[in-house]
Amino acid sequence: MDFLQVEQAFVSHSKTFIAELMPSYPIYVPLLPDEAQQSISQIHPNFERVCQLLCNEGFEADNYLDIFDGGAVLTAELDRLKTVEHSRVYPVEIQASLPAQASLQLLSNDRLAGFAATFARVAVVDGVAFLNPDAAKGLGVASGDAVRVAGLQQA
């Protein structure tokens, strides 16, 4: 079976399950076709921009290869990602009409279960994030809850 067939057949299982289908013995690179050998750890042209964005954010290639496509595996420490480092958490106040200094920002609620994120207009005034009702509803927050606000950066 090729990867897409396996993924479709076992869609309800985790990728760990699919990884367990791989051989437990080493794959000897010299035995692979030349084309496969040359593609190991190479970034596919369709992924170059995404890889650049992730690396700019703080992800790094490690010593592992993706078992499905042979590409580099990117990892990062969550607290060291630029967006997380430069974001702040504020209590929410919901208002239909936002202060004049409201601007488009990346917002998320501050929950693991029920996580939601969006781009929305927000004004941070005196340590309070003012959101309109639609943005609050999308994030699943009410007045007094916390939101994480991250400024939009040019890549």
Q: Report the catalytic residues.
A: 44
Distance of CA 135 to the CA centre of its chain: 20
Q: Report d(CA 148, CA 75) in Å as an integer.
A: 22
Q: Are 145 and 114 in contact (CB under 8 A)?
A: no
Residue whose tokens read 């985790």: 14
Q: Report d(CA 42, CA 51) in Å as an integer.
A: 11
